[in-house]
Amino acid sequence: MLVDFNTLPQESKVWIYQCNRSFTDQELKEIEAKLDVFLENWTAHGSDLQAGYKIVYKRFIVIALNQQHGTATGCSIDASVHFIQQLEKEYQVDLLDKMNVSYKQGDFIAYKT
């Protein structure tokens, strides 16, 4: 079940996926639509998961899950990773490499391998 990111409790589980480049405005619209559909239908053992997202600096996809409403299981986490992998392929970006670093430099986000 998709909910507004800002309504989720602070104790929510959070996943942050950093992109190796900024998304274009068109890509952002498409990705937001895909996230809406995915999170609206995201379940664990048939039960809806209450989750929201935001995209920060056109580069970071942040997904949060209200664990008071339902807990992500192995299969539901696998589904979310598969969804992110699909985004990687479709937009030819890197979202899962945890060896990369991003940092804010003035008004810009720098990315280093």
Residue 69's alpha-carbon distances to 4, 15, 54, 78, in angstroms, are 14, 17, 19, 19
Provide mean pLDDT across the span 65-89.
93
pLDDT at 71: 87
**The dihedral sign for the CA sequence 37, 34, 56, 64:** positive
For residue 8 the two structure tokens come to 């989720």
Domain that holds residue 57: 5-112
Number of domains in the chain: 1
Give the CATH number, domain containing residue 69: 3.30.70
Half-sphere exposure of 7 (CA within 13 A, CB side): 8
Average pLDDT of span 60-81? 93
- Please tell me the predicted confidence (pLDDT) of residue 93: 97
Q: Which range among 21-25, 36-40, 46-50, 63-67 shows the weakest confidence by mean pLDDT?
A: 46-50
Residue whose token pair is 């991003």:
102
Q: Specify the pLDDT at position 40.
A: 96
Residue 90 binned pLDDT confidence (cut-offs 50, 70, 90): very high
